[in-house]
Amino acid sequence: MNPDHLATQPLDDVDVHVLDTIADILRAGDPVPAGLVDEVKFALTMQALHAEVAELQALGVDTAAARSAEYSHTQTLTFGAEALSVMITLSPLDDDTVRIDGWVTGHDGTVSIELRAGTRTLGATTDADGRFIIDPAPRGLVRFVFTPEGEVRPVITPTVEI
């Protein structure tokens, strides 16, 4: 068959079947990563709210071990933003979970906290001293969203491994 001639002909059912099959092959073999759609929607929401991105200022204790997600000691993370600062202490519970003790400073009122871990979201609120606890929290790649009461603009952290 001559491809030049075929190229100018209209698509037929066989072409549609061929393209459908290519799509099936790719859907099975190279699927859209789980969580990508949610991550995009989250990023768009944060953009719409003009979220401030906090900076990871300090990674305490076992930096190297924490990166490998096999740490067994307590470690701390510190995030800084214009609106507030946060210190987070991670205490391993088991292979899959950690306890998170957090302390938000720089904002007088209540702050609501969202922990985004893959497709899961966990919530917490600060007490009168600005402290909060998330226990248990799943290990893995996460990011935090802090929304001070009465404010529209949240503070989000970069993705970190806990």
Which DSSP symbol is given to 143? E
Q: Is 64 in the site for another protein (CB under 8 A)?
A: no
Segment near another protein (CB under 8 A); pick from 36-44, 94-102, 136-144, 147-155: 36-44
List, in sequence order, every residue forming a beta bridge with 104; answer none if it has no partner.
86
The b-or-e profile of 19-50 (16+ CB within 10 A means b, else e) is eeeeeeeeeeeeeeeeeeeebeebeeebeeee
Dist CA 86 CA 80 (whole Å): 6
Task: Determine the interface stretch with another protein among 16-24, 56-64, 113-121, 129-137 (rule: CB under 8 A).
Answer: 16-24
Say whether residue 9 binds another protein (CB under 8 A): yes
Binding residue for another protein (CB under 8 A) from 24, 55, 149, 161? 24
Under rule CB under 8 A, residue 53 binds another protein: no
Binding status of residue 1 toward another protein by CB under 8 A: yes
d(CA 119, CA 112): 19
Report the interface residues with another protein, using CB under 8 A: 1-11, 14-26, 28-30, 32-33, 36-37, 39-41, 43-44, 47-48
